[in-house]
A = this chain, B = another copy of it.
Amino acid sequence: MQRIDAAPLGDEELQGLDAYWRAANYLSVGQIYLLANPLLKEPLRPEHIKPRLLGHWGTTPGLNLIYTHLNRVIRQRERELMYVIGPGHGGPAIVANSWLEGSWTATYPNTGQDLAGLTRLFRQFSFPGGIPSHVAPEVPGSINEGGELGYSLSHAYGAAFDNPRLVVACVVGDGEAETGPLATSWHSNKFLDPRRDGAVLPILHLNGYKIANPSVLARIGDEELTALLQGYGHEPYLVEGSEPEEVHQALAAAMDRCLDRIDEIQREARTTVADVARAAWPMIVLKTPKGWTGPHTVDGEQVEDTWRAHQVPLSGVRTNEDHLRQLEDWLRSYRPEELFEETGRPVSSVLALAPSADRRMGSSPHANGGLITRDLELPAIAEYAVPVKAPGAEDGEPTKVLGAFLRDVFTANQAHRNFRMVGPDETESNRLSAVYEVTAKAWNADRRDTDVNLATDGRVLEMLSEHTCQGWLEGYLLTGRHGLFSSYEAFVHIVDSMVNQHAKWLKTVNRLDWRRPIPSLNYLLTSHVWRQDHNGFSHQDPGFIDHVVNKKAEVVRVYLPPDTNTLLSTMDHCLRTKNYINVVVAGKQPQPNWLDWDAAALHCARGIGVWDFAGNDDGEPDVVMACAGDVPTLETMAAVDLLREHLPKLKIRVVNVVDLMRLQDATEHPHGLTDSDFDALFPPGTPVIFAYHGYPWLIHRLTYRRNNHQDLHVRGFIEEGTTTTPFDMVVRNNLDRYHLAMDVIDRVPSLGTHAISTRQWFTDQRTRHHAYVREHGEDLPEVRDWRWSR
């Protein structure tokens, strides 16, 4: 690891930077502790102290130091920079800096650069009705909350993609560095195009400790650490120390070197026609003490430079006179009288060190991506529709057709470079490969002659890390661009917790008028539970929907298009929306096309509807057969076919659900049907056999308040799976056509004696199937070849 032996700062600049840093540190400590007396114009008394001391000091001085020095390079180089903060619990730092540079006041005019503003700034932090303790959506300049660690670097790369003039400085905490998602996200540099993307400057902040432990990377020695970072494809520069002046010089020198290297790498790439070899991008390892400049020892125990500095170093300030004095000494050690005017305004020499206008990191439009979002140009979707002469007469491959549309989305937006697809090596497997006719997979590592569809400037991002895919896409969306994540359904659970955090972010953003809506997070979950018969049980899990619907209703949408044209209509809609998480589940295997374009568009607009062509109820059904999802729709239609053949007097209504949230109460979800609309579809007293894509109880959870909930009988995935045939999968879970038909017979007692023998026939078919697949290893021909023909 190189240390740069240079002292680029003259005295005045050094003193200025140090003053700025001291001001930020002062403001940080003030936020954690002070309710009043913000400039210590009188001796500190217990009533000036907050009753509950909530915040994280340990990481804060380091974050402040980096912010201060990034300001320097922004000013000197006129560079556009963003700051992504892995140790997001260091909220005080970013709030302090945002206020110092004026971004905070620009966003929240009631918190000005004056005494009243300063008092409010301190009071609001971690205070009821105020702002959270973390780098939350409330904080201007932030796109990464950091409460859940691990995603800063993938967010930073997401922000850098297609922003060629942007440098994203990303602080990685040494705690966060231990997480899996962070550990693999270093490899993002193999997917960055130095020509058309911006740069990421990782700053690994080794302050040595987590909550109660040393951090791993701080304790493996410089040699192993250097090897690790070089192995990740970086050229690391070490800045280490606990003497401010030395560290200022070293950090300034390292930042200069890193920015120079970034310029060189980009210049070479951008002035060379051919692809240039992947460069080792520079990065900084910053080793400074945890809780630096805070109390060194408290109650006889070392705090600074240990894990004890993680949260609030002095905890008894209101009741313990020694702690109170230590706090006052600590605050005064920053010499606030040199940093702030009497009015509370920072002194001019401090203010002068902040960049101006949009160059301020707290005012970067990239960090409020909705400001600069350009809506996607979407090709006329109807032109991609497949002709459907008769419902179910022919098969289509929904994702394959969607691929052609997505290809043209890439083309239509090529000039704006604002659309990306991400996925863990499954775009091809998910049959979206038409997109490779116009773009490729981003790849900046070594190539071989046999490779196909790889290019440095490819717009499809594939890495076998759902975490990295998700982090990239979040970063891309949060900075105002558009995208789609295609994944196997089962393994999207890998990013459950990331989805939680993004949903929380969006929920909060909806309450902040200054944050502009960003494009939605779109999932295409294909290779779903019913069509992982070849991979087996580990690949069969539909629970992501359940996970998502726990989030705030205003944020989540779930769609289960049953065929090709409905998938097209759904995806066209999703790509136009903002601030949602759209989950679209659709199969990649050939399956019947049910609806022509007009019918599909109407059905999707309604979200739920009666399929008149399938039923025979004349408005007074004996049974409603409802379905949501492509395979459940297929089985329902086949069951209807059987029932209409065997029990022609039975009046069946078929209801198909595309938009799952239509089932929920209108008071619970904006898409929810009113009770009267629900009753019109599902008449109270009429049994409903509901074939659902996922865990059946979700339908009960969505409908428990409905009038006819007690008449609802749901079939779905009951966690029975293995490697077998597609039809055996539905049989094992009682979702097959025969079982659905049996369910109808069981729930319509008026059917009488004839139905008993019919029921037996259905049972026999299941038995026949069982024997047949075990003998032949494939499904019964009449099942495979079944086709709706009414």
- Give the CA-CA distance A652 to B500 in the complex, in Å: 37
Residue of B nearest to A704 (CB): B700
Q: Residue A240 at the B interface, CB < 8 A?
A: no
Q: Are A538 and B145 in contact (CB under 8 A)?
A: yes
Q: Are B184 and A180 in contact (CB under 8 A)?
A: yes
Name A444-460 residues within 8 Å CB distance of B: 445-448, 450-451, 454
Partner of A728, one of B128, B226, B233, B709: B128
Which of chain B's residues have a CB closer than 8 A to the CB of A221? 446
Q: Are A210 and B464 in contact (CB under 8 A)?
A: yes
- Give the CA-CA distance A679 to B606 in the complex, in Å: 40
Which of chain B's residues have a CB closer than 8 A to the CB of A496? 493-494, 496-497, 547
Which of chain B's residues have a CB closer than 8 A to the CB of A147? 535-539
Partner of A494, one of B51, B175, B497: B497
- Give the CA-CA distance A728 to B129 in the complex, in Å: 10
> This chain: how many copies in the complex?
2
Residue of B nearest to A223 (CB): B230
Which of chain B's residues have a CB closer than 8 A to the CB of A89? 535
Q: Residue A325 at the B interface, CB < 8 A?
A: no
Which of chain B's residues have a CB closer than 8 A to the CB of A131? 723
Q: Are B180 and A490 in contact (CB under 8 A)?
A: no
Partner of A446, one of B211, B219, B462, B538: B219
Q: Are A773 and B543 in contact (CB under 8 A)?
A: no
Which of chain B's residues have a CB closer than 8 A to the CB of A725? 52, 128
Partner of A468, one of B136, B180, B547: B180
Which of chain B's residues have a CB closer than 8 A to the CB of A225? 231
Q: Residue A501 at the B interface, CB < 8 A?
A: yes
Closest chain B CB from A661 CB (angstroms) = 13
Known contacts A180-B465, A465-B179, A695-B550; A428 and B212 CB within 8 A of each other = yes
- Give the CA-CA distance A187 to B182 in the complex, in Å: 13
Q: Residue A426 at the B interface, CB < 8 A?
A: yes
Name A219-243 residues within 8 Å CB distance of B: 219-221, 224-233
Q: Are B134 and A536 in contact (CB under 8 A)?
A: yes
Q: Name which of A248-256, A349-357, A774-782 contacts chain B.
A: A774-782
Closest chain B CB from A690 CB (angstroms) = 13
Partner of A701, one of B130, B213, B697: B697
Q: Residue A525 at the B interface, CB < 8 A?
A: no
- Give the CA-CA distance A220 to B676 in the complex, in Å: 62
Partner of A179, one of B220, B464, B534, B778: B464
Partner of A777, one of B51, B306, B701: B51
- Give the CA-CA distance A214 to B543 in the complex, in Å: 30
Closest chain B CB from A25 CB (angstroms) = 21
Q: Are B230 and A451 in contact (CB under 8 A)?
A: no
Name A267-290 residues within 8 Å CB distance of B: none
Name A183-213 residues within 8 Å CB distance of B: 183-185, 187, 190, 210-213
A7-30 vs B, CB cutoff 8 Å, 1 = contact: the mask equals 000000000000000000000000
- Give the CA-CA distance A219 to B225 in the complex, in Å: 21
Q: Residue A176 at the B interface, CB < 8 A?
A: yes
Q: Are A719 and B212 in contact (CB under 8 A)?
A: no
Known contacts A128-B724, A183-B180; A134 and B535 CB within 8 A of each other = yes
Name A471-519 residues within 8 Å CB distance of B: 490-491, 493-494, 496-497, 500-501, 504, 507-508
Partner of A52, one of B450, B698, B701, B778: B778
- Give the CA-CA distance A462 to B212 in the complex, in Å: 10
Name A418-441 residues within 8 Å CB distance of B: 425-429, 441
Q: Residue A546 at the B interface, CB < 8 A?
A: yes
Which of chain B's residues have a CB closer than 8 A to the CB of A305? 450
Q: Residue A148 at the B interface, CB < 8 A?
A: yes
Which of chain B's residues have a CB closer than 8 A to the CB of A465? 178-180, 183
Q: Are A719 and B224 in contact (CB under 8 A)?
A: no
Q: Residue A374 at the B interface, CB < 8 A?
A: no
Most buried by B among A213, A224, A447: A213
- Give the CA-CA distance A552 to B228 in the complex, in Å: 42
Name A143-194 residues within 8 Å CB distance of B: 145-150, 175-176, 178-185, 187, 190
- Give the CA-CA distance A176 to B552 in the complex, in Å: 33
Q: Are A777 and B52 in contact (CB under 8 A)?
A: yes
Name A698-722 residues within 8 Å CB distance of B: 698, 700-701, 704, 709, 719, 722
Closest chain B CB from A147 CB (angstroms) = 3
Which of chain B's residues have a CB closer than 8 A to the CB of A539? 147-148
A381-405 vs B, CB cutoff 8 Å, 1 = contact: the mask equals 0000000000000000000000000
Q: Residue A115 at the B interface, CB < 8 A?
A: no
Partner of A306, one of B181, B450, B464: B450
Closest chain B CB from A140 CB (angstroms) = 17
Q: Are B185 and A180 in contact (CB under 8 A)?
A: yes
Which of chain B's residues have a CB closer than 8 A to the CB of A719? 504, 507, 550-552
Q: Are B231 and A35 in contact (CB under 8 A)?
A: no
Q: Are B537 and A504 in contact (CB under 8 A)?
A: yes
Q: Are A773 and B211 in contact (CB under 8 A)?
A: no
Closest chain B CB from A551 CB (angstroms) = 6
Q: Are A704 and B709 in contact (CB under 8 A)?
A: yes
Q: Are A126 and B534 in contact (CB under 8 A)?
A: yes
Residue of B nearest to A721 (CB): B504
Q: Are A212 and B51 in contact (CB under 8 A)?
A: no
Partner of A148, one of B306, B491, B497, B547: B491
Closest 7 CB pairs of A and B: A228-B231, A147-B538, A180-B180, A183-B184, A227-B231, A493-B497, A219-B445
List, sorted by A's number, 26 A–B pairs whose CB atoms are closer than 8 Å.
A35-B777, A129-B773, A131-B723, A132-B537, A132-B722, A133-B534, A136-B536, A145-B538, A178-B184, A187-B216, A212-B427, A213-B443, A213-B464, A214-B445, A215-B464, A227-B228, A228-B231, A496-B496, A504-B538, A504-B719, A546-B547, A546-B550, A547-B547, A550-B719, A701-B701, A704-B709
